[in-house]
Amino acid sequence: MTDQTLMWRIAGGSGDGIDSTSQNFAKALMRSGLNVFTHRHYPSRIRGGHTYVEVRASNEPVRSRGDGFNFLLALGDSFARSEQDGAYYGNEKVKPLTESLADLNEGGVVLYDTGFFEEADIAEIRLEERAEENGWHVYPMDLRGLAREHGREVMRNTAGVGAAAALLGQDTGYFEELVREAMSGEVMEANLTILEMAYEQASEFEFSHDLRVPTGGHDTDQALMSGSNAIAYAALDSGCRFIAGYPMTPWTDVFTIMSQNLSEFGGVAEQVEDEIAAASLAIGASHAGVKSMSGSSGGGFALMSEPLGLAEMTETPLVLVEAMRAGPSTGMPTKTEQADLEHVLYTSQGDSNRVVFAPGNLEEAYEQTRTAFQVAYDYQIPAILLYDQKLGGEMRNVDVDFFDREPDPSLGATLTEEEISEAAHHESGKFERYRHDPDDGVSPRSVPGQTGGRFLASGNEHNAVGHISEDPDNRKAQMDRRVRKLERVRAELDDSEHSHQTHHGPADADLGMLVWGSQQDTVFEAVDRLNAAGHEVKALGVSDMLPYPETEVRGFLESVRECVVVEMNATGQFRGLTQKELGQYGEKLASLLKYDGEAFEPGEVVEGFESSIDGGQPAAGNMRFVPAAGD
């Protein structure tokens, strides 16, 4: 499978338009009938710094980045230059080329811009010799010069795409179409000319490589979007009409998409002074009867701890999203990790009383965001969607029909005025918003402005009408009721036709892998390869972090002899959670960990798994293997 896919990388400086060029490239390939998947890598700098995006494309489904890549378009980092003296910072200039070459597969194709890289640069990095050693096919072209000649220098990306299309045997029709849709007037004309000229010029090379864009066809209309898009769209389709936030990478993507669309959808978006305010605003709006959300990444989410507890105690429905990046502290802002699991499960004082979902891919992100809203409002409980830089940023094609869904504006357990008039009240006229007796733990609420619905919402322990109470019997009854809600959520999720947990691989395999969140589809691809290579292994992708899907995971673990838990953190947080929730399996669960800022590649999982079942050899590269207890 690896061999038939195109794994195209565009590398340059951040600020060089790498992102949008790669999106267009991916979209054109999608329109041509291929499945596409993008993986972006960028430093935490606006200008300067080496960045790249990979587009993997195939006529088979692609649900993960590939192992390495086989086509490099190196544009050069045009901002790696000191303005004053015109000098380049150290070797920054050639970095997009050198760093990328380290991962380029044997037999790969290199297209680089001679308008940027000078002969001395190329000599310095020994490109020719290395190409020979690795069987690379190198095509130098003056992309900048071409762009300058027919338009402006910044259009070199267009030149690169045109040349790449020629080298890959793809006609430029779909690229032209995108240029026409996105631009107009002179700029459009110039880009079209450059696209064509670059295509023609590159066609004159004598091709020594065999790599070509595969051909494919889609049966249904496709849309190209990121995980962040899916989360935001699910929120909108859930009737969420209020968001408050404070920018922080990578959560900013969801915040931005919501902010750009909410007013069109009749809602309100607020950028506020800090994350404590953001979460508090979401609580205030939800309390007043609007479906609301907030979110952040690790550091900002830490600031939300206390409001999160307030939502639990006042039983204010609330959806938060947490986009993980590498921690601790500021960590590596643009790098991915799955190390906030424990933070999100337990932060805030007292027994935690929340729902946490960690979707495994784009479709799951949409589904589980919708479920998060439904559960939050039906059970008056905070629901948190936990994802990461990888899932939020990667783009994939998905069936347009997938989004053909009914909106869900239900406020859940919220009464109408008529219902309030028939509901129980304290003799003084206060509405009993926090009754002890509901079986499912959910005592329906009113919202301010409704006649006869007055109650007090308090972060202090409180009685049926919400007034502060430290009476031990009331305390126990209120705690029991709040805890009961989670049991009911678990029962509802277990009864649902669509489990959030995903099985992959042969059911009778006796070796297993457990994975959660964004690493799921990478592990699934590894499972396919391992089975193709003669192993018998299956995987379970878990999304319900809290309440934990005990029955499903126990069933899976009972069916295997050994199991490797794959996750991107240093301490095996999900493995720990699993042992805690199931109270056993310490001797069965090993960990394959990675925490260098880069997600697993499928090939790494294959390697890590193979070496681990050989008796726990140290895993290759930056992976770490922790054997099961007692091994």
Partner 1 sequence: MSTFTAIGEDREIDQEEFTPGVEPQATWCPGCGDFGVLKALKGAMPEVGRTPDETLLVTGIGCSGKLSSYFESYGFHSIHGRALPVARAAKLANPGLEVIAAGGDGDGYGIGGNHFMHTARENHDMTYIVFNNEIFGLTKGQTSPTSPKGHESKTQPHGSAKDPVRPMSLSLASGASYVARTAAVNPRQAQEILVEAIQHDGFAHIDFLTQCPTWNKDAKEYVPYTDIQDSDEFDLDTGDRREAAETMYEAESRLYEGEVLTGRFYHDPDRPSYGEEKRAQGDVPEEPVAERYFEDGEWERTADRLIDRHT
Contact indicator for 155, 195 with CB cutoff of 8 Å: no
Nearer to partner 1, 104 or 244 (CB): 244
The two most distant CA atoms of the chain are separated, in Å, by 91
Nearer to partner 1, 85 or 404 (CB): 404
Nearer to partner 1, 299 or 452 (CB): 452
Nearer to partner 1, 44 or 261 (CB): 261
User: Who contacts 44 (Cβ-Cβ below 8 Å, separation ≥6)?
Assistant: 249, 332, 333, 334
Nearer to partner 1, 24 or 591 (CB): 24
Alpha-carbon distance 333 to 249, whole Å? Answer: 6
Nearer to partner 1, 156 or 433 (CB): 433
Q: In the sheet where 589-593 sits, what is the strand order?
A: 502-504, 537-542, 511-516, 562-567, 589-593, 624-626
Query: Which of the 8 DSSP states describes residue 171?
Result: -
**Minimum CB–partner distance for residue 614 and partner 1 (Å):** 44
Kind and range of the H or E run holding 9: strand 6-13
Query: Which of the 8 DSSP states describes residue 375?
Result: H
Whether a cis peptide bond, with omega within 30° of 0, leads into 547 is: yes
**Minimum CB–partner distance for residue 408 and partner 1 (Å):** 8
Nearer to partner 1, 83 or 404 (CB): 404
**Minimum CB–partner distance for residue 425 and partner 1 (Å):** 10
DSSP H stretches of helix in 126-172: 127-134, 143-150, 156-167
**Minimum CB–partner distance for residue 284 and partner 1 (Å):** 3
Query: Which of the 8 DSSP states describes residue 451?
Result: T
> Of 188, 150, 169, 153, nearest to 75 (Cα)?
153
Nearer to partner 1, 420 or 539 (CB): 420
Structure tokens given for 385? 């969607």
How far is residue 206 from each of residues 73, 167, 192, 211, measured CA to CA in Å?
Answer: 18, 10, 24, 14
Q: What is the DSSP string of 258-309?
A: HHHHTTTTT-EEEE-SSHHHHHHHHHHHHHTT--EEEEE-HHHHHHTHHHHH
Q: Residue 226, exposed/middle/buried by CB under 10 A (0-12, 13-18, 19+)?
A: buried
**Minimum CB–partner distance for residue 238 and partner 1 (Å):** 10
**Minimum CB–partner distance for residue 576 and partner 1 (Å):** 30
**Minimum CB–partner distance for residue 619 and partner 1 (Å):** 37
**Minimum CB–partner distance for residue 407 and partner 1 (Å):** 4
User: How does strand 104-113 pair with strand 137-141?
Assistant: parallel
**Minimum CB–partner distance for residue 537 and partner 1 (Å):** 35
Q: Could you list the beta-strand ranges (E) of 79-182.
A: 104-113, 137-141
Alpha-carbon distance 440 to 486, whole Å? Answer: 9
Alpha-carbon distance 8 to 338, whole Å? Answer: 27
Contact indicator for 236, 372 with CB cutoff of 8 Å: no
Nearer to partner 1, 9 or 454 (CB): 454
Nearer to partner 1, 37 or 595 (CB): 37
Nearer to partner 1, 191 or 229 (CB): 229
**Minimum CB–partner distance for residue 624 and partner 1 (Å):** 38
Alpha-carbon distance 59 to 33, whole Å? Answer: 7
Residue labelled with tokens 């990790």? 337
Kind and range of the H or E run holding 387: strand 382-388
Alpha-carbon distance 564 to 560, whole Å? Answer: 11
Nearer to partner 1, 125 or 276 (CB): 276
**Minimum CB–partner distance for residue 509 and partner 1 (Å):** 37
Query: Which of the 8 DSSP states describes residue 600?
Result: P
Nearer to partner 1, 99 or 408 (CB): 408
Nearer to partner 1, 122 or 456 (CB): 456
